[in-house]
Chains A and B, each alone.
Chain A
Amino acid sequence: MRTLIAGAGDVGRFIAERLSQRGEVIILDNDEHALARAEEQLDALTLLGDATHRAVLRRAEVHRADVFVAVTRDDATNLAAAALAESLGADRTIARVDDPGFYDVESGIERKVLGADALVCASRLLGAELLRRIIETEARFVASFAGGEVQVAGVEVHDRSPLIGQPAASLRDKEGGMAFGVIRNGVLEAVAEIHAVEVGDILLSAGETKRVGRATWQINGLKPGRIVVVGGGQNGRQLAADLAELEFDVRLVDTERSVCERLARDLPRVSILHGDGTQLSFLQSERIEAAQAFVSVTRNDEINLMASLMARQLGVPAAFALAHRSGYAGVYDELGISGTTSSHEVLGRAVDWLLPGRRIVARHRVPGTNYEAAEFRLTGLIGERASLRARDLPVSVDSHRLGIVRGGDLVRDGAETFRRGDHVLIVGPSESLGRFETALDRLARERRG
């Protein structure tokens, strides 16, 4: 696979490193220092030039590229570069567009816009990832699929849960049932078979991140608490909006008065605080210790680190930080920060997800069991002539089909016909998933004839 990456920043280099293991990588940038760093770290070709110049793209032989990924810091540059690359013959184009206002959909990945095969939104993907981390504080596990947009969570039922004695299917929201399975005594049972939920059961839910978050809090009848977010940039704003939608008491902190005023206007359900998230007196005066979680998402790694450390010291049970520079995550862990994420991590995962590859996209073990949740590509199974329905898949009796991964969502209808680009999410014993993979390969061979 030949990949052309526009942008040699942290994100570009991170994606290049992952993709250079799968094929040839060429990195384009008009910043020679960024290129020098890429040259030093990667076995990839570097080219100095503007990715929105046709001559530069031709010099990079864009017509031979299987994938073109534009991940500079500028949305307009990325869009223009992806559109140009597509017009010059790149097979598949992906552009990073961080402004959520550009999107027609709620998710962080949108397909087929302005000539680009897919647009990826770092702030939304980061929002989803940070939300996943917050959900994790109340769950046994939360595993990410669909490039970070779909989560599978397992929540242990406590003795105060309103679901005790109720059928598992009663865990619902306005869109329908939220549970898809219950692990009781280490065995996965279908929701329909659990007529009375017991203490110690693990309820599994799957779907878009916010929905899984809502289910997690509902299972044990918890009231969403206070969450402090430091940094009123695009990432902070997105996360605050997501959390507010889940009815958390969100406090968004920024040092710039004008930014705070704009945030107050745009996010009416969020408390906007003007102050310095690294100042002890400010944090104390805002009773930071009462927060359930603390998230620092400023542009500055050092501020994120210091703010999170102070929050931990003041007694906040979980503090998360954005780490822009790769390699910082390990240091944060050492210092006792509950978790980190970064633009390059979430964008890298999204790009990986969008590209063709092995049949199993991602797999995660359900802790304490021999079950795994896995997302499968349906390469070779969906053609123009032959249609395939979800219920026709050769899923063994001990496994459960969670749904079709389509865009950033999970479609649960078994009668639904697969479309190009769809994946399927299955949970079951590890050996059954192995058999399922083999069965899909065999089916693909048969369909090829």
Chain B
Amino acid sequence: MNLAVVAATTARILMLVATMMLAPLGFAIWDGQARTIAAYAAALVTTMLCSLVLGQLGKHAPKTLHRKDALGSVALTWLCLGLFGGLPFVVEGSILNPAAAIFEAVSGFTTTGATVVSDIDNLSRATNFWRCQMHWIGGMGVVVLFVAVFPQLGVGAKHLFKSEVPGPITEGLRPRIKQTAVALWWIYGGLTALETLLLVLAGMPLFDAICHAMSTLGTGGFSSKGASIGAYQNPVVDWIVAVFMLIAGVNFGLYYGLIRGRWRDLVRNYELRFYLAVNVAVILIIGFLIMPTHANQPLESLRAASFQTLAVTTTTGFMTEDFDTYPDVARYLLFLCMFMGGCAGSTAGGIKASRVFVLLRLAASEVRTLLRPHDVTTIRLGTSTVPRAVAYAILVFVVTYFLIFAVVSACLVVMGLDLLTAMSATVACLSSVGPGLAGVGPTQNFMFIPEAGQLLLSFCMIAGRLEIFALLAVFSPECWRR
């Protein structure tokens, strides 16, 4: 890794992040809250200063950006995002503990939506906007945004893009990675604007609509209300948000294809079909199970079940009611869904539907081989086959995912958390869902977790967002060799 290249690249990305801080600063100035103005001004200036220092360090860096440099830049960027993103919370006083502030910022940028704030309704508008804006930037990816707006970086841009959007089976949308990044951001921005408009039409105030639209499309989960979407008690709002959560959980490349008239791709996409099938099945089962607590009203049960299920499977983490009070079977199903997450190429986290699907096919193929040892089998996905190397990579990813899950939840148990809280907190952070079960359920928060636990979960959130290996690679000595 060439540290000068990493410094130069990170400096440019941080300048972009600093620019993003102008929006909450604007809200703080509008509302005339001196401490909030100071908080966001301080964060903006500190980020810019850090960017300038890094820029100086990388002044004579070569123009070529190799894979290792890209991994280093992305890892350093995500580390800085936690630090600088959390700074305004501490200066403003909304979160006093620095570890908790880092947790909140990392949760924001990784679109996890797990919060340490107990009194969200009393947060300043600037802070609420910043929390949701972090989701929005982190959802599509700050590095992807950088690739979209920064002049040509050549193949280096591709390495940066792939370090932040690893995905199991990725297909470019356009010949150049910059064009792909621009197309993705246009689709993302367009969908955000559409949801905002629909929410306003459904009666939500404009500020709330913008915040929730950013949070939904980023599959984040931060809300400007303590009771999340449930605060509006509006079925139309529930359905709009649910539909957009589903939209955000689907591969954005399919929308690009749709715009280009390739609607058949959407219909034929094996991952989407599997993902929808899982969601429909879970919604129907949970809807049936919660019917007694919803006055035996099928539509009401369906609405609640759809919203909560999609909030979990898309790893958004909004709520209209506390799913931790559901029957055990429903809670268990939701717990399992936290592992899977959304589709590859979406803003959702988790193992991803395509990986789960390939694993299921792989298991079936192994069983078949056991019964008929001379059979030569392939893993087919529609008309294409999954190469053995890809299947192997998926297997390794899932094993590593569960290894991290096991180690981190064990650490949390050692720190004094109960088993269900520790396990659900870990998977909620690793899959970027946000709320878990028991102590970290939808109506609870993560403030009670010890500082070490919060930092450990912050690591989980970044690892989950970067799909593990991009982050783990930075810890390898090989990555640091020039």
Residues of A within 8 A of B (CB): 2, 20, 24-26, 32, 39-46, 48
Please name the residue on chain B nearest to A44 by beta carbon.
B175
Tell yes or no: B373 within 8 A of A by CB: no
Among B67, B157, B387, contact of A43 (Cβ-Cβ < 8 Å): B157
Q: How many residues of B contact A (CB 8 A)?
A: 14
Among A32, A40, A43, contact of B176 (Cβ-Cβ < 8 Å): A43
Which chain B positions have C-beta within 8 A of A41? 155
Residues of B within 8 A of A (CB): 67, 154-155, 157-158, 172, 174-179, 384, 387
- Bound Cα distance from A286 to B154, whole angstroms: 50
Which chain B positions have C-beta within 8 A of A42? 155, 158
Q: Do B155 and A24 touch (CB < 8 A)?
A: no
Q: Do B154 and A43 touch (CB < 8 A)?
A: yes
Q: Do A24 and B157 touch (CB < 8 A)?
A: no
Q: Do B158 and A45 touch (CB < 8 A)?
A: no
Please name the residue on chain A nearest to B383 by beta carbon.
A55
- Bound Cα distance from A48 to B155, whole angstroms: 20
Among B67, B154, B175, B384, contact of A24 (Cβ-Cβ < 8 Å): B175
Which chain A positions have C-beta within 8 A of B178? 43
- Bound Cα distance from A41 to B154, whole angstroms: 10
Contact flag A24-B176 (CB < 8 Å), given A43-B157, A43-B158:
yes
Q: Do B179 and A24 touch (CB < 8 A)?
A: yes
- Bound Cα distance from A26 to B112, whole angstroms: 36
Among B172, B175, B177, contact of A2 (Cβ-Cβ < 8 Å): B175
Please name the residue on chain B nearest to A48 by beta carbon.
B384
| 19 sample A-B contacts, Cβ–Cβ < 8 Å, listed by A number | A20-B154, A20-B176, A24-B174, A24-B176, A24-B179, A26-B175, A40-B67, A42-B155, A43-B154, A43-B155, A43-B157, A43-B158, A43-B177, A44-B175, A44-B176, A45-B174, A45-B176, A46-B172, A48-B384
Q: What is the minimal beta-carbon distance from A29 to any residue of chain B, in angstroms?
A: 14
- Bound Cα distance from A40 to B175, whole angstroms: 14
- Bound Cα distance from A282 to B371, whole angstroms: 58
Q: Do A45 and B175 touch (CB < 8 A)?
A: yes
Please name the residue on chain A nearest to B179 by beta carbon.
A24
Which chain B positions have C-beta within 8 A of A32? 387
Additional pairs, 6, CB under 8 Å, beyond known A40-B67, A42-B155: A25-B175, A26-B175, A32-B387, A39-B158, A44-B176, A45-B174
Q: Which 6 A-B pairs have the closest CB atoms?
A: A24-B175, A45-B175, A45-B172, A43-B155, A43-B154, A26-B175
- Bound Cα distance from A44 to B176, whole angstroms: 5
Please name the residue on chain B nearest to A25 by beta carbon.
B175
Best-buried of A2, A45, A48 by chain B (most CB within 10 Å): A45
Best-buried of A24, A43, A45 by chain B (most CB within 10 Å): A43
Which chain B positions have C-beta within 8 A of A44? 175-176
Please name the residue on chain B nearest to A4 by beta carbon.
B175
Which chain A positions have C-beta within 8 A of B157? 43
Q: What is the minimal beta-carbon distance from A346 to any residue of chain B, in angstroms?
A: 24
Which chain B positions have C-beta within 8 A of A26? 175
Q: What is the minimal beta-carbon distance from B454 to any residue of chain A, in angstroms?
A: 37
- Bound Cα distance from A32 to B384, whole angstroms: 12
Q: What is the minimal beta-carbon distance from A326 to any residue of chain B, in angstroms?
A: 14
Please name the residue on chain B nearest to A16 by beta carbon.
B175
Please name the residue on chain A nearest to B173 by beta carbon.
A45
- Bound Cα distance from A177 to B175, whole angstroms: 50
Q: What is the minimal beta-carbon distance from A215 to any residue of chain B, in angstroms?
A: 43
Q: What is the minimal beta-carbon distance from B471 to any residue of chain A, in angstroms?
A: 20
Which chain A positions have C-beta within 8 A of B172? 45-46
Which chain A positions have C-beta within 8 A of B176? 20, 24, 43-45
- Bound Cα distance from A20 to B174, whole angstroms: 13
Which chain B positions have C-beta within 8 A of A46? 172
Best-buried of A2, A25, A44 by chain B (most CB within 10 Å): A44
Which chain A positions have C-beta within 8 A of B155? 41-43
Q: What is the minimal beta-carbon distance from B92 to any residue of chain A, in angstroms?
A: 42
Which chain A positions have C-beta within 8 A of B175? 2, 24-26, 44-45
Which chain A positions have C-beta within 8 A of B174? 24, 45
Please name the residue on chain A nearest to B180 by beta carbon.
A45
Which chain A positions have C-beta within 8 A of B179? 24
Which chain B positions have C-beta within 8 A of A20? 154, 176
- Bound Cα distance from A44 to B384, whole angstroms: 21
- Bound Cα distance from A401 to B189, whole angstroms: 57
- Bound Cα distance from A24 to B158, whole angstroms: 14
Q: What is the minimal beta-carbon distance from A408 to any residue of chain B, in angstroms?
A: 31
Which chain B positions have C-beta within 8 A of A43? 154-155, 157-158, 176-178
Q: What is the minimal beta-carbon distance from A245 to any residue of chain B, in angstroms?
A: 43
- Bound Cα distance from A39 to B179, whole angstroms: 16
Which chain A positions have C-beta within 8 A of B154? 20, 43
Which chain A positions have C-beta within 8 A of B384? 48
Q: What is the minimal beta-carbon distance from A230 to any residue of chain B, in angstroms?
A: 36
Q: What is the minimal beta-carbon distance from B274 to any residue of chain A, in angstroms?
A: 21
- Bound Cα distance from A190 to B158, whole angstroms: 53
Which chain B positions have C-beta within 8 A of A25? 175
- Bound Cα distance from A414 to B335, whole angstroms: 83
- Bound Cα distance from A26 to B180, whole angstroms: 13
Please name the residue on chain B nearest to A49 by beta carbon.
B384
Please name the residue on chain A nearest to B265 by beta carbon.
A59
- Bound Cα distance from A165 to B178, whole angstroms: 64
Q: What is the minimal beta-carbon distance from A380 to any residue of chain B, in angstroms?
A: 28
Please name the residue on chain A nearest to B156 by beta carbon.
A43
- Bound Cα distance from A45 to B175, whole angstroms: 4
Which chain B positions have C-beta within 8 A of A48? 384
Q: What is the minimal beta-carbon distance from B260 to any residue of chain A, in angstroms?
A: 9
Which chain A positions have C-beta within 8 A of B158? 39, 42-43
Q: What is the minimal beta-carbon distance from B114 to any residue of chain A, in angstroms?
A: 35
Q: What is the minimal beta-carbon distance from B181 to any residue of chain A, in angstroms?
A: 11
Please name the residue on chain A nearest to B178 by beta carbon.
A43
- Bound Cα distance from A48 to B384, whole angstroms: 10
Which chain B positions have C-beta within 8 A of A40? 67
- Bound Cα distance from A74 to B154, whole angstroms: 30
